[in-house]
Amino acid sequence: MTTNSTNDPATIDAQKYNLDKTGISDTSASFQKMIDSYPKGSTINLPKGIYKISDTVNLKDGMSLIAGSDVVIEGTGKNTLFATGNDNTFKGIEFQNCSIALRVLYVKGVNITNCRFTNNINYAAIDIYGSSDCIITNSYFYNINKYGIKIDKNSSNITIYKNYFDNPKAFGGYKNSQISGHVYCLSGNKIIVEKNILKNSGGQGIIFGYSSNLGKGTTNCIARNNDCTGNGQEGITIYGGVKKLSSGNSIIGNTSKNNRYNQIEVWQSDNNTVSGNTVEESIAGRGNLGAICLFTTTGTTVTGNTVLSAQNNGIDITAGSLYNTITNNSIANTNLNNNITAPQKGNAILLDSAGISQPQYTTIRNNKISSSNGIIPKSGIYSTSNSNKYNKIDSNSITGYKSGFHSYAKMTCGM
């Protein structure tokens, strides 16, 4: 067999390498021997079959594994299937029954397209650690037991585009809240998550979080034009921890619907943007503080979003949040799961201390607050304190609420 470039792929001779394509016997050693026989930069077409791998196959830099049709790599439920090199490509392959399908460790340029990750992947389909310039696109993630794509160790320039994630059997959506997620970033920079469908994770659909081990978070990342539905925690979260290690991230143009807790939340993280999203809580049992929630965040802008319905509050600004701007949002039909006995819940926009401290220096302007479901027995804009004097609240349109611009909220303006 000759050496091949990416423009001249070879279809391997399974018999030559003694590869079992039936999935009956372990073919790890033969598969690694086949890989080792090719130089860096080779492109290999895998013939149709099921390849059972009990060990980890290590790839050389520049190698590409391409499936013509119906190629399944199956592990033991506990192993890592592939350890990538730099500039590896995977195309059209299905990965099953392993701990990690692809370990992307301290490398760059890994490209994963039109692949499938299914059936008892117990830790992560793709584990990206200390790596850069990787692309995952048009791939399918189904019933992953913990993480779909996990990103850590300051990984950068990672693009996750037009993939489909769904875990109906593993978690059943909101029924079981788990520490997990479809796209789970612990630390990184310039991670773009765009035009994906993310359903029924036990945790978040997307989280830009932080690593307590490294003491670092995520920065300059974007979740854009994704559909997050029925996940066990939030649809999309930015989370920096008490040290606010994550900052400067954006949530733009997404649809976030009927996730178990807040649909979009910015939690202990500063200088973020939440813009042009549509959120909805139309099923009882969803919702928490607010369909969009800001918790201990400074300098975050929430603009041009549409809240179609909320079980409690539409936009919740809470727990010592400072210098945030809430403008040009449309909010309707809050308080779907409450009544007038809980004055801190069910408002269109709420300012609340949450037992920490009252939000201050908040600008709330040009928002459209309405109801298509009669008069909502709460407030369009409400504050749980009347002592703060540093907010700017004006030019909002409020209809359909028993109290529009509540007197407590008015008292927080001025000075």
Domain layout of the chain by residue ranges = 1-122, 123-411
For position 48, what pLDDT does the model report?
Answer: 94
**CATH architecture under which domain 123-411 falls:** 3 Solenoid (2.160)
pTM: 0.94
CA nearest to 307, candidates 280, 286, 325, 287:
280
CA distance 7 to 237: 41
Strands 216-219 vs 210-211: parallel, antiparallel or unpaired: antiparallel
* pLDDT for 172: 54
Whole-number pLDDT of residue 231: 92
The residues that bridge with 217 in the sheet, in sequence order, are: 210
Q: CA–CA separation, 359 vs 354, rounded Å? A: 10
pLDDT of residue 16: 86
Residue 173: helix, strand or coil by DSSP? helix
Please choose, from the candidates 114, 93, 21, the residue with its C-alpha nearest in 3D space to the C-alpha of residue 12.
21
Asked if 157 and 132 touch (Cβ cutoff 8 Å), the reply is yes
pLDDT digit of tens for each residue in the chain (415 aa)?
A: 333 444 455 567 667 889 999 999 999 999 999 999 999 999 999 999 999 999 999 999 999 999 978 999 999 999 999 999 999 999 999 999 999 999 999 999 999 999 999 989 999 999 999 999 999 999 999 989 899 999 999 999 999 999 999 988 765 544 554 668 999 999 999 999 999 999 999 899 999 999 999 999 999 999 999 999 999 899 999 999 999 999 999 999 999 999 999 999 999 999 999 999 999 998 887 888 999 999 999 999 999 999 999 999 999 999 999 999 999 999 999 988 765 455 557 999 999 999 999 999 999 999 999 998 889 989 999 999 988 779 999 999 999 999 999 999 999 997 6
Q: What CA–CA distance (Å, rounded) separates 88 from 105?
A: 12
Answer for the pair 341, 375: CB distance below 8 angstroms, yes or no: no
pLDDT at 337: 75
Which residues are CB-neighbours of 341 under 8 A, at least 6 positions away? none
Query: What is the C-alpha to C-alpha distance for residues 173 and 257, in angstroms, rounded to an integer?
Result: 12
In residues, how long is the chain?
415
Strand partners, 98: 121
